[in-house]
Structure 1
């Protein structure tokens, strides 16, 4: 995606799984938002984002995640996240833990579809 944010994409019958590493911040957010928006449009619209390899997320990154949840829902899909302690700390700081569907693992996210 960008130098500071990298990832892989796996497409399954009913979902797309993204494993991201690096920084989800103001620098990477515009590209992240554009690329992920295109993937939602291509489908399937159920997304699983594994953020366990993310080193840092800022308010721009959180805003992009919120927009991605809305876009997935508009496409009759969902967004589930797997977060590490750093990401969870930021999510809890802005009280988004109830809005963002956070799962303990990719397997549990898949089972939750």
Structure 2
């Protein structure tokens, strides 16, 4: 990833969980998208993005989230985002909470994926 964004992924029973720390912005969006796309290519599981440790997200970061949500829809996969107060506020500001399937916490998101 980049100096400003670090992350990893793990396969859970019902999803691919990708967690990130740092800033999701114009400096890290390309690497973020490449990393997620690579992970998705090797897995046909629903995608859960844990952004609870993201310090900052800008329009570039939001744009990548929208692109990834569309990729998942096109592939017939579920897409869910979990964020902290800052991420949630930014996503709600541009009214993308429904499109990104924003969940309040990781436990709720995992439950939603398990029942879908």
Q: TM-score range by the shorter chain?
A: over 0.9
Task: State the distance in 1 between where 2:57 and 2:16 align.
Answer: 21
Q: Give structure 1 regions of 4+ aligned residues with deviation exceeding 6 angstroms.
A: none
Q: Once the 2 structures are TM-superposed, how far is the Cα of residue 10 of structure 1 from its aligned partner? A: 0.9
For structure 1, which runs of at least 5 residues remain unmatched after alignment?
none
Counterpart secondary structure, 2:19: strand
Q: Residue 5 of structure 1 contacts residue 24 of structure 1 at CA under 8 Å; is this kept in 2?
A: yes
RMSD: 1.2
Q: Once the 2 structures are TM-superposed, how far is the Cα of residue 55 of structure 1 from its aligned partner? A: 0.2
Classify 1:5/1:64 alpha carbon distance in 2 versus 1 (closer, same or farther; 3 Å).
Answer: same
Aligned length: 113
Match of 1:53 in 2: 53
TM-score by length of 2: 0.90
TM-score by length of 1: 0.92
Q: Once the 2 structures are TM-superposed, how far is the Cα of residue 99 of structure 1 from its aligned partner? A: 1.1
Match of 2:28 in 1: 28
Match of 1:11 in 2: 11
Counterpart secondary structure, 2:21: strand
